């Protein structure tokens, strides 16, 4: 007796090719990535399924892990001629409830040293596994000649009982760099507000990746960035080339993971070792943005998003016009970073208070 799933697949194969492909598109890439065996019903089925699964590959953190564990079930390298875009959704460590409760003293330091050692060991091991999965995924995407778009979104939701413990940074340079070092890449979207980049699992110092991103400015058409550490080097292309085909650039300095404006503000900080406060970093970034914009052949959008302190209003600087736009909470929640807001005509209406420097510095030290 045939397996019900196989019988259903065989019935679907009797449909016209266009109809079958449309049905599989409705299932989406996640349907196949969650269980790689769904690709292997038969050779005819595989030819249709791979177009859906890998043309626009959209992976959650859990799906990535399952996919990498099933690496030997199917030779994923056979799919290299299919993939055109990669979207990766990372959420950080998930098994917090399995960890011991950490009691903290008045200074926010853990009292239970044994529990703290166990926690650090578990987090480091998990981070190393994630790095391995990302490197394995990179070996696939680097061999995809049609791949043009890479998007990585990394959030970090930590239970309240662990909030007094230092943030768990789970992204490493060896895990991320190969994903952005793809030939023929035209669109790069890195929303890494949930983690700094470490040199290795368990490391405590963030890594300076801005020059590696800047090296892509000569080939990219679109760039969107939100990183915990950033500096003007990210907008400095090699050899100061002009006539760049880059047309859209958006830098988001707002690290508020929830889509609410009226909350405590969190900003990107200057890259480690530069010794710049937020205002100094932002000023340098804006100056370099103007230089880069002048080197772009046909610039369409160039925005820098940041919070106005202490009102917690979100502003968007249009580098091409020099005007600031006020983004309302509704715009920020339901529209992308390039949304237009109300233009602030008078520069005197936008006075960024000096407190932002001390606030950003104290926030950085608290982490």
- The yes-or-no verdict on residue 2 having pLDDT over 60 is no
pLDDT at residue 187 tops 70:
yes
Q: What is the pLDDT of residues 125-183, one digit of tens each?
A: 999 999 999 998 898 888 888 899 999 999 887 766 665 556 788 999 999 999 998 88
pLDDT at 261 over 90: no
For residue 173, what pLDDT is reported? 92
Percent above pLDDT 70 for the chain:
69
| 360 pLDDT above the threshold of 60 | no
What's the whole-number mean pLDDT along residues 120-129? 88
Q: CB neighbours of 236 closer than 8 A, spacing ≥ 6?
A: 211, 214, 288, 291, 292
Model pLDDT for residues 43-52, shown as the tens digit of each residue = 777 777 777 7
Residue 74 has pLDDT above 70, yes or no: no
- The pLDDT confidence band at residue 120, using thresholds 50, 70 and 90, is confident
Residue pLDDT, tens place only, 201-244: 887 777 789 999 999 999 999 999 999 999 999 999 987 678 89
For residue 314, what are the CA distances in angstroms to 241, 305, 357?
32, 7, 16
């Amino acid at each position: 007796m045939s397996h019900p799933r196989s019988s259903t697949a065989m019935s679907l194969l009797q449909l016209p090719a266009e109809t079958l492909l449309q049905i599989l598109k409705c299932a989406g890439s996640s349907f196949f990535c969650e269980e790689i065996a769904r690709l292997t019903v038969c050779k005819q089925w595989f030819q249709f399924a791979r177009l859906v699964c890998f043309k626009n590959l959209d992976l959650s953190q859990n799906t990535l892990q399952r996919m990498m564990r099933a690496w030997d079930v199917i030779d994923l390298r056979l799919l290299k001629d299919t993939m055109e875009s990669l979207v990766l959704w990372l959420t950080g460590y998930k098994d917090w409830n399995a960890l011991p409760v950490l009691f903290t003293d008045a200074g926010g330091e853990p009292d239970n040293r044994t529990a703290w050692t166990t926690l650090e060991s578990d987090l480091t091991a998990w981070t190393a596994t994630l790095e391995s999965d990302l490197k394995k995924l990179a070996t696939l995407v680097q061999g995809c000649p049609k791949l043009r778009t890479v998007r990585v979104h990394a959030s970090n939701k930590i239970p309240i009982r662990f909030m007094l413990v230092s943030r768990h940074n789970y992204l490493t340079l060896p895990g991320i760099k190969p994903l952005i070092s793809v030939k023929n890449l035209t669109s790069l979207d890195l929303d890494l507000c949930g983690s700094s980049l470490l040199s290795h699992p368990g490391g405590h110092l963030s890594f300076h990746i801005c020059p590696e991103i800047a090296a892509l400015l000569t080939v990219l058409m679109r760039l969107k960035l939100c990183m915990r550490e950033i500096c003007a080097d990210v907008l400095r292309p090699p050899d100061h080339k002009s006539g760049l085909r880059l047309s859209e650039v958006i830098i988001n300095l707002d690290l508020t993971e929830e889509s609410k404006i009226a909350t405590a503000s969190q900003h990107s900080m200057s890259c480690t070792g530069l010794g710049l406060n937020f205002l100094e970093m932002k000023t340098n970034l804006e100056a370099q943005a103007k230089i880069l914009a002048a080197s772009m052949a046909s610039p369409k959008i160039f925005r820098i998003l940041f919070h106005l302190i202490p009102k917690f209003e979100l502003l968007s600087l249009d580098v091409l016009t020099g005007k600031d736009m006020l983004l309302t909470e509704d715009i920020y929640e339901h529209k992308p970073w390039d949304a237009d807001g109300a233009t602030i005509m008078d520069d005197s209406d936008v006075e960024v208070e000096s407190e932002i420097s001390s606030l950003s510095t104290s926030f950085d030290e608290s982490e």
